[in-house]
Amino acid sequence: MLRRPGRPMALLVPALLIPALAACGSDGSDDVRSVVSSVEVTGEVGEEPEVEWTEDVEQTGDVEVEVLEEGDGPELEDDSAVLVQYLLSNGFDESTAISTYAEATPEVLDLGSGELPEVFTEALSGRQVGDRVVVGFESSELFGEVGNAALGVNNKDPLLLVMDVLGPTPVDVPYAEEGEGIAPDLVLDEDGLPEAMRFMGIPKPTGELQVETVVEGGGPVVRKGDSVMVDYLGSVYAKPKPFDTSFGATPLVGTLGPGGFVEGWNRGLAGQRVGSRVWLVVPPELGYGPKGNEDAKIKGTDTIYFLVDLLGVAPRPAAADTADEAADEELPELSEEEPEAPSPAVSGSPSEQESPAAE
């Protein structure tokens, strides 16, 4: 239904089956060093860290876990679905093996799935939202004795995992069964989670985007270009069954901007705070466009209602801010006589790049 991002984690687990490169991360000496004490990690939580290897590590000891920055958000539960950004650095050649920051592809890791590598569960167990955690270990702890050729990791390389915990911040307010304002009534399941909407008695859609924040969170403000973690329920106006939901399943992560969510979400969620609960009434042109979405049985004339819990945010890469600032500096100044040109962002014909339709 909504667009879902790729998963860098997929590069980690399947690569266990890839034959290793020649083992050259260790010479078999007894010179065991701490990985964590052999590196310097700098930068703000949520932004890509700078990792500098200050000492050579030829052989590692046990897995080390250290909290570099302590957050003040909720503590993770044993079965939490956790929003993270992470970077894996290889001490053998001091390279970055993988980074979700660089590609703006944060992950949702399910601590209760039983499928996460132990390195990740050790790093996240008992942590709080806002923590920056580092884990030092030998590559065999994550990739076994085969290493990971796809990432250029040999089977004895010293590795450092830097992980930022960015969610979830649950919306700890019960769901209202009786709707108010633009909100329809909700049908709740036995766990008190929304599973359907009832539209009888509510005002008809206006044809405009309508946004109503029913719970205002106290977390960071989300911006265009940020990646957000949400739970949501989506239903076509006056239809008895929803076309999509994440409640009771894995939360959705996507980017506020072209190629991420539908345009109604981009406009309605930007400026909201993490921890908020928001109703969105999305007209067709800001939803799936004139073609609709055949798989979801959404027609090109349908208005869509969404209930959204905003659980976390991964800030857009700092490079995007720099690019925007540079573009602003390059704009020519208008003379007093020269009328200001209309913005293409408000032109009558939306560009293909900005189409809200999820194909």
Residue 247, in any domain of the structure: yes
The Cα angle at residue 19 between residues 16 and 21, in degrees rounded to 5: 110
**Same domain as 233, residue 156:** no
Residue 130 included in any domain: yes
Contact residues for 317 (Cβ-Cβ < 8 A; gap 6+): 48, 101, 102, 104
And the tokens for 101? 């920051």
The residue from 277, 297, 314 where one domain ends is 314
Residue 70 per-residue DSSP state: -
Rounded Cα gap, residues 90 and 149, in angstroms: 13
- Residue 12's contacts (CB-CB under 8 Å, 6 or more residues apart) are 98, 117, 142, 143, 148, 151
- The half-sphere exposure of 359 on its side-chain side, counting CA atoms within 13 A, is 6
Does residue 347 belong to any structural domain of this protein? no
Q: Provide the token pair at 61.
A: 């000891």
Instruction: Identify the domain boundary among 139, 167, 195.
Output: 167
Beta carbons within 8 Å of 116's beta carbon, 6+ residues apart:
109, 110
Q: Is residue 325 part of a domain?
A: no
The confidence score (pLDDT) of residue 320 equals 57
Question: pLDDT value at position 233?
Answer: 98
* CATH number of the domain bearing residue 87: 3.10.50.40
Give which of 175, 164, 191 is closest to 73, Cα–Cα.
164
Residue 31's CB: how many other CB atoms inside 10 A? 10
DSSP state of 25: S
Coil/strand/helix, residue 250:
coil
Concatenate the DSSP letters of all residues of 178-244 into one string: S--TTPPEEEE-TTS-EEEEE-TTSPPP-SS-EEEEEE---SPBP-TT-EEEEEEEEEETT-SS-SE
Q: Phi/psi of residue 204, each to 5°?
A: -70, 150
- Domain termination site, one of 135, 167, 199: 167
For 250, residues 6+ apart whose C-beta sits below 8 A from its C-beta are 81, 108, 110
Q: Are residues 17 and 104 in the same domain?
A: yes
In sequence order, the β-bridge partners of residue 255 are: 227
Please report, for residues 124, 155, 215, the alpha-carbon distance to residue 60 in angstroms, rounded to integers and kept in the order given.
21, 12, 48
Q: Identity (one letter) of the amino acid at 64?
A: E
| Structural domain boundaries, residue 266 | 185-314
Say yes or no: 67 and 32 in one domain.
yes
**3-state class (DSSP) for residue 260:** coil
Instruction: Answer yes or no: is 172 within a domain.
Output: no
| Mean pLDDT of each 10-residue bin along the chain, 359 residues long | 52 44 45 90 96 91 94 95 97 95 91 92 94 96 92 94 97 96 97 97 95 97 96 97 96 91 96 98 96 94 98 84 49 40 28 30
- Cis bond upstream, residue 342 (ω within 30): no
**Do 89 and 52 fall into the same domain?**
yes
Residue 332 lies in a domain: no
CA-CA distance, 207 to 343, in Å (whole number)? 23
Residue 103 DSSP one-character state: T
Let me know whether 33 and 146 are in one domain. yes
pLDDT of res. 259: 83
Do 129 and 23 lie in one domain? The reply is yes
pLDDT of 12 reads 62
pLDDT at position 58? 83
CA distance 35 to 57: 7
Residues 189 and 308 in one domain: yes
Does some domain include residue 355? Answer: no
Assess whether 39 and 132 both reside in one domain: yes
Same domain? 22 vs 140:
yes
125 and 264 co-located in one domain: no
Q: How many domains does the chain have?
A: 2
Looking at the structure, do residues 19 and 110 belong to the same domain, yes or no? Answer: yes
Classify residue 286: in a domain, yes or no.
yes
Task: Identify whether residues 111 and 227 lie together within a single domain.
Answer: no
